[in-house]
Structure 1
Amino acid sequence: MRFHRLFLDSVVAAAALCSSALPLTTVAAPSAAGTNVAQARAQIPGVHRYRVGDFQVTALSDGTVPQDLHELLRGTSPAEVDKMLHHAFLSNPVEASITAFLIDTGSRLILVDTGAGGLFGPGHGGKLLGSLKVAGYEPEQIDDILLTHIHTDHSGGLVSEGNRVFPNATVHVGKPDLDFFLNPANQGGVNGYDKKYFEQAVKTVGPYMKAGKVQAFTRETQLFPGIKAIPTPGHTPGHAFYRVESRGNSITFIGDIVHVASVQFPKTAITIVYDVSPKDAAAQREAQFAAAASNRALVAAPHLPYPGIGHIRAEERGYTFVPVDYRDRHEP
């Protein structure tokens, strides 16, 4: 199995499954009955703000991509997947959000992940900078970037045409991911992962390494006041959570502990081909879901439906994700 190619193949297959839908840029012709059909229009850049004590968290959409879950999920069957999707009013392929999060502490601007950039091709991600601008920020203002892990849809936005998109930012990432993805010995691919993922890690994180702008951690680490890195290996060797606390409030950015809410919350043992260690990824998911549900913790994840902020509730079997209430009013 070739990791990078399988992702792209799944997107292509998913797009084919969705081919009956009108493209966003298409102007529909009148129907046979002579009635008019509304023109499909693109979404505006996604910006969602949430207050955590003295900090402000902004969910920034990098776009969405369709994923063929029949091809990507492991430890299940297409029939079981379709049954769970039907229960959630969905059908295969499922649209996956790609979301980055901006933390404004008042003294620092910190990004959690950077989306896919241009690495998935036109129409698949690459909207982060537009969302960031709409939110009122420029790339040069970002002080730090917290990578939950070095997969293309989290690190791709670091660069454009080989140049650092965030020239003043320091990248923080788990050292085991650096050792795995940037190891010269792994550049031909390893353990079923296509070499493209290793090559792209060099392209995205490499320029920051050369500029001395990467700081790695190997254990639970207090990066800044109120912001802690927590290693959670499994999905990748250096996968990490980031917990943010201010004035008794907290939010934890949980990265790719979950990809498909409608499937992996009810059945945590179902894995995805992107997992470096499926067994460890499933065990980590069960343990972290149980802890978050017990603590009533607020979490944020990049592939949950945008904005991906909410709570995890334990059910008689499995778990459910409960999104936070939407707010649109001034709060002093």
Structure 2
Amino acid sequence: MDRRRFLSLAPAAAAASATATLPALAAAPFAGSAPPGFYRMKLGDYELTVLLDGTVPVPLTTLYNNTSPERVEEGLAAAFLRSPVDLSVNAFLVNTGERLVLVDAGTGTLLGPTLGRLPSALKASGYSPDQIDDVVLTHVHTDHSGGLVVDGEQVFPNATVHAHRRDIDYWLSEANRAEAPADKKELFEGAVASLEPYRKAGRLVPFDDNAEPVPGFRTVFRPGHTPGHSAVVVESRGEKLVLWGDITHGDVIQFDEPGVGIAFDEDTPAAVATRALAFAEAADERYLVGGAHIRFPGLGHVRRDDKGYDWVPLNYSLPG
């Protein structure tokens, strides 16, 4: 064999030898779980941390109304989704440098094993529950207030909880609970379990329409989804963030068709009207939006398109 022939065959022979003698290194067990989810960014002089409470499969084809299942399926398929869709449950933590304010509190143990991750996400982000000064609720549904209490104990032992007076009056009413259909009674029971410990401790404080429950945190009354449903507005050094609560469930169908409601709405016509106002304002003013059920971290902007509106997720970046 001449030198040229030897050199042409040597790499193949070496590769074959290595393949034959090296053991497989990829036989590790599946990890099976994901780490706690949080996303951090600056908002003017403030620090914003989005906390992922988890995700939950939601059968949007059956829960959306003012539309048809076929139309929903078509819209989801165009976005490479199908029902049930895993919706995020997001909460938003704002550090002003003077106060640590949490907007919405997740689900706790009330809605299944894929949720209730907010405390672990909070700790992973560098904070602890006892550091929270205030919790501002966009509304008193279980996926926003259930995380206030776990096993009867207050999760945020030093926090004052702020909720709209209309929601407090509605969800803590024994008469309303008695009159509610069977499939809705759990919402009332969850509200009592989550809010009563704070009320008994003197740390449940109601706010009214378009109020400022915490200095620098302004609310905008956005009724329909619940009687007191409110957005929370945070501004610092000219940067504005509007935390929507449940203006939408998902980021596909209701942006193309704002008239589509969902079964969770207490008053669907009012919720539809509220959504139209929220979309138009966000598109006109071009501020940053945070959505509780928009895919994590739920931050982005709203723009108009030829179908109606479009959700534009915030470009991902790491804080300096």
1:47 aligns with 2:38: yes
Q: Give the 3-state SS of the residue equivalent to 1:133 in structure 2.
A: helix
Q: What amino acid is aligned across from residue 140 of structure 2 in structure 1?
A: I
Give secondary structure in 2 for the equivalent of 1:293.
helix
- Cα distance in 1 for partners of 2:80, 2:38 equals 25
Residue 65 of structure 1 aligns with which residue? Answer: 56
> Partner of 1:317: helix, strand, or coil?
coil
Shift of residue 134 of structure 1?
A: 0.3
The answer as to whether partners of 1:189 and 1:198 remain within 8 angstroms in 2 is no
Percent identical pairs in the alignment equals 44
TM-score between the two structures when normalised by the length of structure 2? 0.89
In 2, Cα distance between equivalents of 1:170 and 1:132:
18
Contact residue 116 and residue 155 of structure 1 kept, 8 A: yes
Deviates more, 1:164-173 or 1:223-232: 223-232
Report if the CA contact (8 A) 1:82-1:92 is conserved.
Answer: yes
1:280 counterpart residue number: 270
1:85 to 76, 82, 85: 76
Question: Residue 40 of structure 2 contacts residue 319 of structure 2 at CA under 8 Å; is this kept in 1?
Answer: no
Gaps of 5+ in 1: 1-34
Structure with higher Rg: it is 2
3-state DSSP class of the match of 1:120?
coil
Structure 1 residues 285 and 149: alpha-carbon distance in aligned structure 2, compared to 1, 3 A threshold:
same
Aligned-pair CA distance for 1:41: 2.4
SS, match of residue 234 in structure 1: coil
Is 1:115 equivalent to 2:76 in the alignment?
no
Cα distance change of structure 1 residues 219 and 83 upon mapping to structure 2, 3 Å threshold:
same
In the alignment, is the contact (CA less than 8 A) between 2:250 and 2:295 conserved in 1? no
CA contact 1:182–1:202 (8 Å) conserved in 2: yes
- In the TM superposition, residue 225 of structure 1 has moved relative to its aligned partner by 3.5
Counterpart for residue 95 of structure 2: 104
Return closer, same or farther for 1:104/1:94 CA change in 2, 3 Å cut-off: same
Runs of 5+ unmatched residues, structure 2: 1-25
- For 1:176, the aligned partner's letter is R
Question: For the residues of structure 2 that align with 1:329 and 1:184, how far apart are their CA atoms?
Answer: 47
Kept after mapping to 2: 8 A contact 1:115/1:157:
yes
More deviation, 262-271/70-79: 70-79
Q: Distance in 1 between matches of 2:63 and 2:202?
A: 36
Distance 1:307 1:315 in 2: 23
Report the equivalent of 1:266: 256
Runs of 4+ in 1 over 6 A off after TM superposition: 35-38
Contact 2:221 2:228 in 1 (8 A): yes
Aligned to 1:165: 155
Q: Does 1:145 align with 2:145?
A: no
| Residues in 2 aligned to 1:191 and 1:68: alpha-carbon distance in whole angstroms | 21
Structure 2 match to 1:182: 172
1:321 and 2:307 equivalent?
Answer: no
Matches within 5 A, 1:297-316: 297-316=287-306
1:212 corresponds to which residue?
202
Q: Does the 8 A contact of 1:189 with 1:196 survive in 2?
A: no
Find the aligned partners of 1:191 and 1:275 in 2 and give their Cα distance.
14
State the SS of the aligned residue for 1:254: strand
1:294 aligns to 2:272 (yes or no):
no
- Say yes or no: does 1:235 pair with 2:225: yes
Cα drift, residue 255 of structure 1:
0.2
Deviation of 1:38 after TM superposition, in Å, equals 7.3
Partner in structure 2 of residue 94 of structure 1: 85
Match of 1:244 among 234, 256, 264: 234
Give the AA of the match of 1:200: G
Aligned position for 1:30: none
- What's the CA shift string for 1:247-301, capped at 9, x where partnerless? 1111010000100211111001111000000000011001110111010011101
Instruction: Give the aligned CA root-mean-square deviation in angstroms.
Output: 1.6
State the 1:90 CA deviation. Answer: 0.8
Structure 1 contact 159–165 (Cα < 8 Å) conserved: yes
